[in-house]
Chain A
Amino acid sequence: MAFSPRPLEEKMTYFWNLHWTSGISKVRGVTLILNQNRTERQFAVARFDDLVLKISQDPAMLVWLDNWLNRAGRPNENYGRELMELFTLGIGRYTESDVREVARALTGWTVQNYRQSDDYNGATFVDNPAVHDFGPKTILGQTGSWDGADAIRIILGHGDSEGSVSGRFLGAKLWTFFAYEDPPRYVVDELRDVYVSSDHSIREVVRRILVHPEFYEAHTRKTWVRSPAEYGVAAIRMIEATSDFDVAARQLGTMGQILFNPEDAKGWDWGASWMNTGTLFARSTMVNTICTNRGSSGSRFDPGRLLAGRDASTAEKVVDILADRFNVADVSPRVRAAWVEYMNANDDGSRGNWTNTAANVDRKVRGLVHLMLTGPAFHLA
C-alpha cells in the first residue's frame, strides 16, 4: 500500500479488506487468507456480482462464516445473513425468512482438503450436490429451486421503491470511503444509477465518485479518520522513513487493527471509532519508535533530510516547513505557537533559541515530527 505503482488498485483492495476480510484466527490457513486478498485485488473494480460470487466461494470466507458446514436439512445461517446484512444490502432490507432461504440456497458450497496436516492451507472450493438442498425457496419474493449463484443474482438484482438496493448500499459505502460519511441523497441516487446502467460495475461507480464535483468541495477534506494501517503508511511515507514495516506492523494490534484478523464479521468500524486514549497512545508509540531510532536497522528516518535545501534558521521556519509537509498547516495560531515554543524550549521549560545545528536537529526535529504526527490534524485525511 505504501509503495505500489498502482495506488488506486491498492486503495480499492484495502476497501474490500475493510469490507469483509476473513479472520486468520479462525481460518488458520495463511495461504487461504493471502488468496482471498489476491481475489480482492483481481476483482477490486470488476462487476460486483463477479466479486461477490468469488468471495462466496472463497475457502477462507467459507470457513470464516461457516458456510462450509451448511448442509441440506440443518442449514447454518451465518454466511447467508451476513451476505445480505453486511456485504450487499444492509440491515432491514430483507426478512428473517430470506435469511433462512438464502442459507438453504447456499447449502453444498463447501471446501475440501481443509485439514491440519498442511496447516489448513490446502482447502479448495467444492460444490457438493450431496448436501445441497434442491427444494424450492423464496428469496426476496422470487420462488424457484435456487442455488448459491441464483441467490447472489437475486440479492444483487433486488430493488425496492428506491431502486437497486445493492447499488445504493455499495455507492454509499464507497462514497464514505473516498469522501465522507452519510452522503447526500442525490449523490447516492446518482451512484445507484451508474451501478445499474453499467451492469453493476464497481469501476464505473468509483470513477463517478472521483470525478464528482462534490468530491472536490472543501468539506470533503479531512473528514476521514485514518485507520491504523493508513496512519502507519502515511507517517512512514511523509517522513521518508526506511521501508521496513516492522514497527508499524507490530503496533497495528494496539492501534486497533490487526490486518486480516478482525474481531468479527463486520470487519472494523470506520471513522472516529478508531480513536480512543489507548489507540492514540499506540500511535504515539509507533511514531516515537521510528522517530527516535538512531540505529542502523528497523524503521528509521533522517530528520536533517526533511529540512535539506530549505531555510531552517528559525523555529518558525522549521515549524512551517514540517507542517506543510505533513498537511497540518491549517492548525490554529495557538497550536503553531506551541510548536514554536517547543522548538525553542530548554530542558527546564525556559525559553531558549532554536539554531540549526546537528545536535538541535537530532533533539528537536525528531520531537517536533513526533508531535505533529500525533496531533488531531494528522489523524485526519
Chain B
Amino acid sequence: MPISRRDFLVRTSGFVTVSAMVPRWAVKGAKFFEESVAADFASRTLVVLELAGGNDDLNTVVPYTDALYLQLRSRIGVAANAILPLDARLGFNPVMTGLKSLWDAGRLAVVENVGYPNSSLSHFAARDVWHTADPQLAVRHGWLGRWADRYVAGNGNPLSCTAISQSLPRTLLADNVGVPSFVNLASYQYATDGQYPADRNNQIRAFLVQNGGEYEVANTVDTLSQVGQDGIRSSDILQTVGTGYVPGGTYPAGTLGAGLLLIAQIINANVGARILYITFGGFDNHATQNTDQPPLLTTVSNGIKALFDDLDAHGKSHDVLLMTWSEFGRRPQDNGSNGTDHGTAGAHFVVGDAVRPGIYGNPPDLAHLDSNGNRAIQNDFRSYYGTILQDWLGADAAAILGSGYPNLGFVDRAYA
C-alpha cells in the first residue's frame, strides 16, 4: 500500500534516538493543522471528567425548597437543613464542601437539566450518544475526536489528547489523532529484558518497524500499529512528568485522586496536552443509594478541589477548564430498593477561572414528568458541548456538532 514517509527522530527512554516512519495518520491530518486556532487558545487545556453509570444529580444539586422533591424521594431524599445552598432553590449535597468552596470563589458553573430529546434510558446507548454527540448513533467518532482531527491532527504531539483511563474513551476517538491511555505511569512503557539493558534500543527499533502499518492482513492492523507508535512516543515523554513533583493540593485516596494528580503533573510539564480525559464510575445506584453515592460525591468534590488547589499552587490554573458529564440523571421517584432507576436530564459542572459563575437553567421541574416518570430536558447537551468548544477551545462548534444549539454563555469569551 502506498504511504508517504520520511524519517523523523523519536527519542526513546531519554538516552538514544532511533529513526522510524512518520505514521500515515500524522501525514493525513497535517492539512488541517495549518488552519488551526489562534495561539491564545492553543495554550488552553480542557479536563473532561466522566461520571460513569448515570449520576443521580437530584441528590447532587438538590431542589431543596421544592416540596415535591421529598415527596418523590421519601426514602432517600436529602434533608433540607443539611443542604449547602447555592441559591434559594438549589443546593449541594452536604458532602460536597470542596465544590462549594469553588462555587464560593466564583469559579463554578452549574448547568441544569442537560440532555437530548427522546433520551435513551439504556446506559450504553446514552453513553454513546454523549460520546459522539449524535443521538442517532450514526457517527462513529467522538465529539472531541472530531475536534482533534480538525485542530490538532498533524501537530506531531502524541499527547494532544490523553486519557487517564484503562480504555480509550470514545469521546476522543479520532481518525488521525492517537490517544495515550493509562492509569499508572510506572508501568507505562514497553518492557524489555532487564538482563540485557543495552539490547533495549535494538528491541524498540524493531518494535517501531513492526508497528509501521505495512501489513496486508486487515485494517485492524493499522489501528494496532498506531497504538504501538503512540505508545512509544508518549511513554518517552510521560516518564519524566512526575519527577520531583510536589502536589499543592490534598487529593482523595483511590483512582480518581491518583488520576487527577497525574493530570496536574501532565499540565505542569507543559507537554502540550489539550484534552485530558478521566473516568470515574460507580454511579449506577439502583439500590442503597445513600450508602453508595455520598462517598462518590465526596471523592469527586474533593478531587476537583484538590486539582485546582494544586494548579493554583503551581500557577497553572489560568489555562485549565474542567467539565463533567454523565450519561443520564436518574428518575425523580426513588424505587423500592432505596435507589433510583434510569432517568433523562442531569446537572453538570464547569470549573475554572474562565467560568462565568452561576446556575444555567431552571431547577428541575418535578411537577411535569413524562410517561416514564422522568424530567424534561432544558439544555441540549450539544449546547453544553458547543459553549466549551466555541468559547474555551476557540473552535467552530457548529462544524463539529451541527448548528442550532444556542451558546449557554458560561465561559467568559473575553477571558485572556
Contact = CB atoms under 8 A, between A and B. Distances in A.
Interface of A: 66, 69-71, 73-78, 81, 85-86, 91, 96, 99-100, 222-223, 225, 254, 256, 263-266, 269, 271-273, 275-282, 284-285, 287-289, 291-292, 294, 330-332, 334-335, 338-339, 341-342, 345, 347-349, 363-364, 366-367, 370-371, 374-377, 379-380
Given A225-B220, A370-B203, A376-B225, A281 B189 contact: yes
Interface residues on B, range: 35 or more
B209 interface: yes
B212 A334 contact: yes
A352 B231 CA distance: 29
Contact of B218 (A280, A347, A380): A380
Given A77-B342, A282-B187, A330-B217, 12 more contacts: A254-B184, A256-B166, A276-B167, A278-B180, A284-B191, A330-B216, A331-B210, A332-B214, A335-B214, A338-B206, A349-B201, A375-B207
A72 to B, nearest CB: 9
A254 B187 contact: yes
B415 interface: no
B336 A380 contact: no
5 contacts: A66-B286, A85-B122, A279-B166, A285-B187, A363-B195
B224 A331 contact: no
B202 interface: yes
A78 B122 CA distance: 10
Interface in B219-235: 220-221, 223-225, 227-228, 230-231, 234-235
B195 A292 contact: yes
A13 to B, nearest CB: 24
A341 B52 CA distance: 47
Interface string B120-139: 11111100000000000000
A70 B337 CA distance: 7
Nearest to B370: A96
Contact of B335 (A74, A225, A332): A74
A376 B223 CA distance: 9
B80 interface: no
Nearest to A263: B281
A376 B210 contact: yes
Given A96-B121, A96-B372, A273-B168, A367 B220 contact: no
Contacts of A339: 206, 210
A81 B221 contact: no
Contact of B193 (A222, A264, A366, A377): A366
A72 B205 CA distance: 64
B198 interface: yes
Given A264-B123, A264-B281, A281-B187, A334 B214 contact: yes
Contact of A278 (B123, B188, B191): B188
B53 A371 contact: no
B205 A342 contact: yes
A331 B199 CA distance: 23
B206 A380 contact: no
| Max chain B C-beta neighbours (<10 A), residue from A75, A78, A222, A281 | A281
Contacts of A371: 203, 206-207, 210
Nearest to B121: A96
Nearest to A265: B123
A91 B188 contact: no
B175 interface: no
Nearest to A345: B202
A294 B194 CA distance: 11
| Max chain A C-beta neighbours (<10 A), residue from B52, B178, B335 | B335
A129 B385 CA distance: 49
A289 B206 contact: no
B196 interface: yes
B210 A281 contact: no
Interface in B140-195: 163, 166-168, 178-184, 187-195
Interface in B77-128: 120-125
Contact of B217 (A76, A288, A377): A377
B211 interface: yes
Nearest to B185: A278
| Max chain B C-beta neighbours (<10 A), residue from A223, A284, A380 | A284
Contacts of A85: 122, 124
B339 interface: yes
B124 A91 contact: yes
Contact of B221 (A279, A348, A376): A376
B415 to A, nearest CB: 33
A281 B191 contact: yes
Contacts of A380: 217-218, 220-221, 224
A278 B189 CA distance: 8
Given A371-B206, A375-B210, A66 B287 contact: yes
B215 interface: yes
Given A66-B337, A256-B166, A78 B286 contact: yes
B284 interface: yes
Given A254-B184, A289-B191, A335 B123 contact: no
A380 B219 CA distance: 11
A292 B123 CA distance: 43
Contacts of A273: 167-168
Contacts of A96: 121, 371-372
A256 B217 contact: no
Nearest to A291: B193
